[in-house]
Chain A
C-alpha cells in the first residue's frame, strides 16, 4: 500500500509552481498539487485567473453537495439503539432457561429438573404445619404485640 503525504502549499511555493506551470515545466504531480491549492476557498484575488484556468469555478458548480439531514441522522441513531436494545432483550430472555446442575454436570431433562426442584422444596420443612404457621406470620401485623403480651403476664 502506498501512502501519500499531502501538505499544504505556501503562497510562495504556489507562486513558484504557477510560474513553472506557465513555462510548461511542471510535472503531473506538481500540477495536481497546484490544482489542490487552487481549489481552496478564500484564496487571495491574485489567484483568480489561475483558478479560472484550472476550471475550479466550473468544478465547484458541478459538485453537488450531499448532506444527511439532521433528523435522518437521529432516526438512524435511534434505529441502531432500538436494534441493540431488542437484541439485548432477546439475548437475556434466552438466558431464562430451565436447567439443573448436579455435581457440576448440566442437566436439561425437564423431568429430572422438576424432580430436584420438588426435592428442594420438601427439604425446606418436613412438617406441613410449620409452613402453614409461616404463612400466618406473613400477614400477621400483631406478632410483636403477641410476643410482648408474654412479658406482660410476668409478675
Chain B
C-alpha cells in the first residue's frame, strides 16, 4: 500500500513536468496536414513561436499554404470537419457545396486560446491556406490583432 502511494506520488511529479509540454495542437486533426504536406513541393509552411510574435501576442503561429493540390484541399476539409466537433464556428462560407472559408474557435486547452483559420481561393490559382494560432489572449483579441496588423 505504501509503495503504491509512493508510485502515485512519482507519477504526479512526472505528470506535472511532462503534460504541460505536450503541445496543445497534438489533439487536432489539422496537425496531420502540417505533418503530411509541410515539407512538400508547392507548399509553404511557417511556424513561429512566442518570442517572434510579440506584436501579435500569440504564443504559436503555424500556417501552411498549398497551391494547386485538390487532394490536399480535400484532406484539409476532412480534418477540419473533425476538429469542428466541439469548436465554435466563427465563420463558415460554403461555395458550390464546398466549404471555402472556415474560422474555428477551439475549446481552450490549458492557458491556450486556439483558433483555426482556413481559406480556399480559386483565382488566379487554387490556393489553400490553413492557419493555427495559439494565444494567451481571447480568440477575439487575436482576430482583432490580425486585422490591425494587416
A→B interface (CB under 8 Å): 74, 77-78, 81-82, 84-86, 88-89, 92-93, 96-104, 110, 113-114, 116-125, 128, 131-135, 137-139
Contacts and interface: CB of A to CB of B under 8 A. Distances in A.
Given A88-B21, A134-B103, A120 B121 contact: no
Contact of B10 (A77, A103, A137): A77
Nearest to A133: B91
B140 A139 contact: yes
B91 A134 contact: yes
A118 B40 CA distance: 20
The 3 A-B residue pairs whose C-beta atoms are closest, nearest first, are A85-B17, A120-B63, A123-B129
A114 B105 contact: no
A126 to B, nearest CB: 9
A121 B63 contact: yes
Given A74-B6, A132-B147, A135-B144, A114 B52 contact: yes
A131 B131 contact: no
Interface in B1-24: 6, 10, 13-14, 17-18, 21, 23
Tell me whether chain A's interface is mostly helix, strand or loop, or mixed: helix
Nearest to B121: A123
Contacts of B49: 96-98
Contacts of A77: 10
A97 B13 CA distance: 27
Contact of A120 (B23, B46, B144): B46
A102 B44 contact: yes
13 contacts: A85-B18, A88-B17, A89-B17, A89-B21, A98-B47, A98-B52, A116-B44, A120-B44, A120-B129, A121-B150, A124-B117, A135-B144, A138-B143
Interface of B: 6, 10, 13-14, 17-18, 21, 23, 38-52, 60-61, 63-65, 88, 90-91, 101, 103, 105, 117, 119, 121, 127, 129, 131, 139-140, 143-144, 146-147, 149-150
A92 B21 contact: yes
A97 B65 contact: no
B150 A101 contact: no
Contact of A135 (B52, B117, B143, B149): B143
Nearest to A115: B46
Contacts of B103: 134
Given A113-B48, A128-B150, A81 B13 contact: yes
Nearest to B131: A120
Contacts of B88: 138
A122 B64 CA distance: 13
A100 B18 contact: no
Given A96-B49, A117-B46, A134-B91, A125 B101 contact: yes
B41 A104 contact: yes
A121 B13 CA distance: 40
